[in-house]
Amino acid sequence: MSAAHNTAVSFETGLLDKHRPWRTARLSLPLRTDEDVVYLRKHVREHAVAIGLSLVDQTKLVTAASELARNTIKYGRGGDVHLDDLLDGLKKGIGLIFVDNGPGIPDLDLALRDGYTTGGGLGLGLSGSKRLCDEFEIDTRPGEGTAVCVVKWKR
């Protein structure tokens, strides 16, 4: 369940430390069940409110978090998420990094296309999340895993 913080993902990716210079805090949570997604949404909302994101930007970030967390569980067979508080000069932001040890994404360009899905969904998770955030980066290797990093900065 949500309380256990056993970060067991071994996929080694540079994305984990992408924002290290600007990071002021990190909260790591497991993503295994439907309830973990709800738990993450609650945390993302709290952090977004704390740094003063507008209501629309809060909603965009929480929605992107929900989409990507579901991808981690559904396609990555579960994984971890790291919620980073960022501070770049006077600019505050929130970074989210989703990591899994799943099969990887064979064709990233295709996966980023609106409406493309291998799981019977709407195919909006990746492409939609990209539109909802300020920064978006994916590191994926077949058979090793996938990491997705998104950032929303306070305007």
Partner 1 sequence: MDRIPILRMGDLLLVTIQVDMHDRLAMTLQDDLTERIVSDGAKGVLIDISALDLVDSFIGRMISNTAAMARVLDAQTVVVGMQPAVAITLVELGLTLHGVKTALNVEKGMALLGKNYF
Site string for partner 1, 18-37 (x = CB under 8 A): ----------------xx-x
Binding test (CB under 8 A) with partner 1, winner from 1, 3, 4, 55: 55
Q: Are 155 and 48 in contact (CB under 8 A)?
A: no
Min separation Cβ 141 and partner 1, Å: 26
- Count the residues in the chain: 155
Q: By three-state DSSP, how is residue 71 classified?
A: helix
Min separation Cβ 124 and partner 1, Å: 5
* Binding flag, residue 113, partner 1 (CB under 8 A): no
Q: Are 48 and 151 in contact (CB under 8 A)?
A: no
Q: By three-state DSSP, how is residue 97 classified?
A: strand
Q: By three-state DSSP, how is residue 70 classified?
A: helix
> Beta 91-100 vs 23-31: how paired, if at all?
unpaired
Binding test (CB under 8 A) with partner 1, winner from 76, 95, 104, 125: 125
Q: Which residues bind partner 1 (CB under 8 A)?
A: 34-35, 37-38, 41-42, 45, 55-56, 58-60, 62-63, 66-67, 70, 114, 121-122, 124-125, 127-129, 131-132
